[in-house]
């Protein structure tokens, strides 16, 4: 793979977003590779925990706006959207998922992080949803994911405010499960992964599926038009 790096260690699988020179920005190739990999996990019966992190100094700066591959036709753009399927592919993973966040985690990357089961971040990590500052709404199913993690009031601060929030604040809000020193991120993520990997896979994955169904099924019906709204509000 060109844009993601996979390392398997017994029953733990590491996934690195691998565009460090571009702050791991989410171009079309990375999104497609990530979606394909996530979908391939359906036939992986050895890995019990999947850890997502970024190569280099950042988790990801979000969508690669330099790529600008959005088709001129809104109909074509609507049909070819690959961002939301990428996020949805996280929610469909049977294995336990962890995002290990450092540096910047913005926009679509924050949607990825919120779609994982657990999150650990470094003390200097900055996470935010800058879409509103670009005159657009948050899509990729990011809004219900944020609401489920931090509640309506704080989700409004995150998404309407459009600011980059500190790890300590997001830990207090419940977005992060743990915050650690920069040098301890991978060790902390591995320790967390080993804890969940020690549990029996079948009941763990069944419980995860049930909780996700309870949490997100109603959101799917309410948020199926988030990308539609983005297309209708974006400037030509």
Please write the tens of the pLDDT for every residue from 67-121. Answer: 655 566 666 665 657 778 899 999 999 999 999 999 999 999 999 999 999 999 9
| Percent of the chain at pLDDT exceeding 70 | 86
Residue 30: which pLDDT band, with cuts at 50, 70 and 90? very high
Contact 20, 55 (CB under 8 A): yes
Which of 144, 110, 114 lies closest to 219 in space, CA to CA?
144
Q: In this model, does residue 47 exceed pLDDT 90?
A: yes
Does 233 score more than 90 pLDDT? no
Residue 69's pLDDT is 58
- Which CATH code fits 4-197? 3.90.226.10
Q: Compute the distance between CA of residue 20 and CA of residue 41 in angstroms, rounded to an integer.
A: 25
Q: Please report which confidence band the pLDDT of residue 190 belongs to, taking 50, 70 and 90 as the band edges.
A: very high
Residues 6+ apart with CB under 8 A from 191: none
Domain boundaries, the chain: 4-197
CA max distance for the chain? 51
| Whole-prediction pTM | 0.91
Handedness of CA 82, 83, 88, 89 (dihedral sign): positive
Burial letters for 144-158: b for 16+ Cβ neighbours within 10 Å, e otherwise? bbbbebbeeebbeeb
Is the pLDDT score of 150 beyond 80?
A: yes
Alpha carbon of residue 102 to chain centroid: 13
């Amino acid at each position: 793979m060109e844009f993601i790096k996979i390392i398997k260690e017994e029953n733990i699988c590491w996934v690195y977003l691998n565009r460090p020179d571009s702050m791991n920005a989410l171009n079309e190739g990375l999104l497609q590779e990530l979606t394909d990999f996530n979908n391939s996990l359906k036939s992986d019966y050895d890995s019990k925990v999947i850890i997502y992190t970024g190569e280099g100094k950042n988790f990801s700066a979000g969508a690669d706006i330099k790529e600008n591959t959005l088709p001129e036709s809104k109909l074509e753009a609507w049909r070819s959207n690959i961002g939301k399927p990428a996020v949805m592919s996280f929610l469909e993973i049977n294995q336990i998922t962890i995002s290990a966040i450092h540096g910047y985690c913005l926009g679509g990357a924050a949607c990825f992080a919120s779609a994982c089961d657990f999150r650990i971040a470094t003390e200097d990590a900055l996470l935010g949803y800058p879409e509103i500052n670009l005159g657009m709404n948050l899509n990729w199913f990011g809004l219900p994911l944020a609401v489920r993690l931090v509640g309506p009031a704080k989700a409004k601060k995150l998404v309407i405010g459009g600011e980059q929030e500190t790890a300590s604040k997001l830990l207090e809000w419940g977005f992060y499960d743990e915050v650690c020193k920069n040098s301890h991120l991978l060790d902390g993520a591995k320790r967390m992964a080993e804890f969940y990997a020690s549990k029996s896979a079948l009941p763990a994955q069944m419980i995860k599926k049930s909780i996700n169904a309870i949490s997100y099924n109603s959101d799917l019906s309410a948020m199926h038009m988030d990308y539609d709204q983005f297309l209708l509000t974006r400037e030509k």
